[in-house]
Amino acid sequence: MITSPVFRGKRYAVLGLARSGVAVVEALLASGADVTAWDSREEARHSLLPGTGRGTAHSAVEGNSPGRAEIPSTTGFAGGPPPRSGEERGALHFADPLEIDLAGFDGVVVSPGVPLNTHPIAAKARAADVPVIGDIELFALARPSLPPHKVVGITGTNGKSTTTALIHHILKTAGVPTLMGGNIGLPIMSQDPLPKGGVYVLELSSYQIDLTFSLDCDVAVLTNITPDHLDRYDGFEGYKASKLRLFDMMKPPHIGVFHHGPAGQPLYDQLLAKHEVWSNYDDNVCDPCDLWGAFDGDGQTAARDHLSTQNDWPSLQGPHNAQNAIAAILACKALAVPEERISEALRTFSGLPHRMERVAEKGGVLYVNDSKATNATATAPALAAYPKIHWILGGLPKTDDLDDCAPFFGHVRAGYTIGQAGPMFADILRQAGKPVTESITLTQAVNDAAAAAQPGDVVMLSPACASFDQFTDYEARGEAFRAAVAAL
């Protein structure tokens, strides 16, 4: 885990004991901090108690009231790592931060899922003049005590997971010590620090950026910004401002990579005025003009040479993956990764589960799992990637239209609708002149599409909807698609 002497003797409240919350508690205690932890779920609190491998030597909590319950832990966790030489573990307490005096705390650590615009912890902490932070901010505070390293931060509405995984894969291919964290993979504080010269690659949601104030990325990447999560922000402008804070926290001569479009041009103007040194960045490493114009059709970038071989990248098909690849290429060029290693990694990248995932080819028909596409904006580039698609769509709708997908309806041979949005989406496709089968369930949709598909066609699950009407999450939906394909 990541520990740091910067936390020694400090006091933190941790609200929420899911995976990242537990990682934060353990890292802070191992660093010598005093931690008050809370989760409304009794089983989550008991995960830190004796007999679990995480518990303290003494317990005073039995799932009762939200009052303070001290648990001295200077003797260490039963199954945790021992203190480093000359150090003691901090003390662990259980109490609801909403029920105690927060004066004197150094921070309240919350999950990114806590809505700061409505949750009472925000006002409570503000009244006590205590910052509300997340695990990414703790990582940022710990950075000076870690072996010398670099950080790449990736944000955006769509494409950030693929871009993050691709940057990580390129670095691994080049032999650079690296790990992924943030909104992907294991919690960052639970992972062992990288050796000197390592690169941390962090996928960052707007929620995570809201909870950090010190993360100075060596390379920051913005894939795109389209309206999303507006229930958490003061309209689209508030959401966009949250994303762009990743760049506000950067210091010269660090590098930004983003689309030279409606969001990118004002950002370029803003940051160029703030970071004059960027305009003089060493051309032998990375030309900032290339970065700013990365996705501009008239831009002259080295990434263009790589794009000429996109047909050789089986897991990076479609125009959206071309944009993801450009962002990853330019980020890695800024880190001085050799061109030949980048080329090799683009060929060998296996993609992410449930995102344009090639599941199988049967009878000349390719089956693609794009369950992670939970809105029409995410589905549109998937439709653009293949010319003959039997499209499985539907679920819990986020909008009442498929307008973002409409430009690619010409690639749709037929639609197969499922879930709550099924009848609505079936009507939209019929009005566009497309044959539609209202399959209702995913398994039936796979069977219906397989019966109609011809060699050279693609059967694609790209729902343009959330999954919660029929599945626990998009992963469960993607697994159901795999199982249905395997059963054909």
pLDDT in tens, 251-281: 877 888 876 555 556 666 666 665 432 322 2
State the Cα angle at 165 between 161 and 167, rounded to 5°.
115
Mean pLDDT score of the chain, rounded to an integer?
Answer: 84
Q: Specify the pLDDT at position 46.
A: 84
Given this model, what pLDDT does residue 60 score? 35
Distance CA 199, CA 146 (A): 12
How many angstroms separate the CA atoms of 91 and 304, rounded?
Answer: 55
β-pairing, 389-394 vs 219-222, is unpaired
Tens of pLDDT, residue by residue over 192-246, are 999 999 999 999 998 999 999 999 999 988 887 776 667 778 888 788 888 888 9
pLDDT of residue 272: 61
Q: Encoding tokens for residue 102?
A: 């927060």
Distances (CA, A) of 434 to 175, 377, 454: 49, 20, 17
Rounded to whole angstroms, the Cα distance separating 321 from 335 reads 21
The answer to whether 304 and 292 are in contact (CB under 8 A) is no
In angstroms, the CA 83 to CA 63 distance is 28
Provide the Cα torsion 196, 197, 203, 205; round to 10°.
70
Residue 303: predicted pLDDT? 63
Please tell me the predicted confidence (pLDDT) of residue 440: 98
Average pLDDT over residues 342-368: 94
Q: Which residue has the higher pLDDT, 296 or 428?
A: 428
**Beta-bridge partners for 202:** 153, 181
Q: What is the pLDDT of residue 73?
A: 35
Closest CA to 463 of 370, 366, 359: 370
Q: Look at residue 50 in the predicted model and tell me its pLDDT.
A: 52
Return all residues near 429 (Cβ < 8 A) that are at least 6 apart.
402, 409, 412, 415, 417, 436
- Encode pLDDT of 44-95 as tens digits: 888 786 543 344 433 333 333 333 344 433 333 323 344 444 457 789 999 9
Q: How many whole angstroms separate alpha carbon 297 and alpha carbon 312?
A: 22
Q: How far apart are CA 260 and CA 297, in angstroms?
A: 10
> For residue 404, how many C-alpha atoms fall within 13 Å in the half-sphere facing its CB?
17
What pLDDT is attached to residue 231?
A: 72
The token pair that represents 456 in the structure block: 């050279």
Could you tell me the strand order of the sheet in which 198-203 lies? Answer: 178-182, 198-203, 149-155, 219-222, 255-258
Sketch out the chain's domains with CATH numbers.
Answer: 5-133 (3.40.50.720), 143-348 (3.40.1190.10), 357-486 (3.90.190.20)
Could you tell me whether strands 389-394 and 458-461 are parallel, antiparallel, or unpaired per DSSP bridges?
A: parallel
d(CA 375, CA 446): 20
Higher pLDDT, 115 or 487: 487
Structure tokens at 365: 């028909």
Instruction: Report d(CA 202, CA 43) in Å as an integer.
Output: 30
Half-sphere exposure of 124 (CA within 13 A, CB side): 17
Residue 18 one-letter amino acid: A
Average pLDDT score over residue span 408-435: 98
Backbone angles phi, psi at 467, to 5 degrees: -105, -5
Place of tokens 């099924």: 422
Lowest-confidence pick of 60-74, 88-102, 109-123, 311-325: 60-74
Model pLDDT, residue 61: 37
Report the pLDDT value the prediction gives residue 286, as an integer from 0 to 100: 36
The confidence score (pLDDT) of residue 53 equals: 39
For residue 316, which of 348, 341, 359 has the smallest C-alpha distance?
A: 348
* pLDDT number for residue 81: 40
